Amino acid sequence: MSRWFRQPHKPAWLMGVLNCTPDSFSDGNIDNLEAHILRAKEMIAQGADMIDVGGESTRPNAMPVSLEEELSRVLPVVKALTALSIPVSIDTMKAEVMLQATQAGATLVNDVSALTHDEKSLQVVAKTGADVCLMHMKGNPQTMQDNPIYDDVLTEVMCFFEQRIEACLSAGIAKSAIVLDPGIGFGKRLEDNLRLIVNVATIKDAFHMPVLLGASRKSFLGLITGSKVRQRETETAVASAIGIFCGADMIRVHDCSTHHQTTLVASQLLDAKQHVNEVCHAV
């Protein structure tokens, strides 16, 4: 059984975003190791369970960076954080970055391409024994928001997961190592994002795997309320709380202080709901 399932009477996992990039849509431009360490320690103090370190922006229209540049951005940070016993995931699409980051102590590979971008990724994850988060994305960061269209977004995302899970299992990756991310904001329209959030349980129940939800500060929230990127914490809290109430095991956020509280409240509400259901079934 995956360790990433939220346990009853425990809050959902909280993953804090640490973008080691100059061009991320929300919180890039931290450009020195000491600042990254300070920010990571702050997020842990605010309740984060893990720090997600990324060195290549995946915002809409973001341009790729070289392997050497990405390694230079993330590897010193991963080494420094793991030396402090801070749990780290590595947000990358490159197999060599996955390899070196996990060798440096990262325990989860978070790949927005679900191990499709680099043909060596499946083998690297299987060899290292790292856990892996498979995310659905329509297209790539350069094209994903160019008029994405679905006949049925939930069906398409679940079919994609079915294919990627099979590829992982065939490569020797353990079922218990896999986390699923429906890819909120990655090649999705407003209505697609909303449908995926309220159907987290459908995805989770279909595959019996934990689900990560990353709605933090995404543009669909701004479409609803008109808020600018850094003013979307209330919207993020609502979307994340509903996602947890619908079964999400982990949320990925920028503001860990606010959303630690989100995980506490939403998780207890879900426990209360499940308790009521158990009592009703027992009667």
Q: What residues are annotated to the active site?
A: 218, 252
What is the Cβ-side half-sphere exposure of residue 270, based on CA atoms within 13 angstroms? 24
Whether 190 contacts 220, CB under 8 Å = yes
Nearest CA to 250 among 4, 45, 40, 1? 4
Q: How far apart are CA 63 and CA 57, in angstroms?
A: 8
Whether 54 contacts 70, CB under 8 Å = no
Tokens coding 273: 């709901």
* 50-54 vs 178-181, strand pairing mode: unpaired
Nearest CA to 3 among 170, 270, 241, 209? 209
13 forms bridges with which residues in the sheet? 250
Which segments within the chain are labelled E, that is strand?
Answer: 13-19, 50-54, 88-91, 108-111, 131-135, 178-181, 212-213, 250-253
Q: How far apart are CA 153 and CA 222, in angstroms?
A: 21
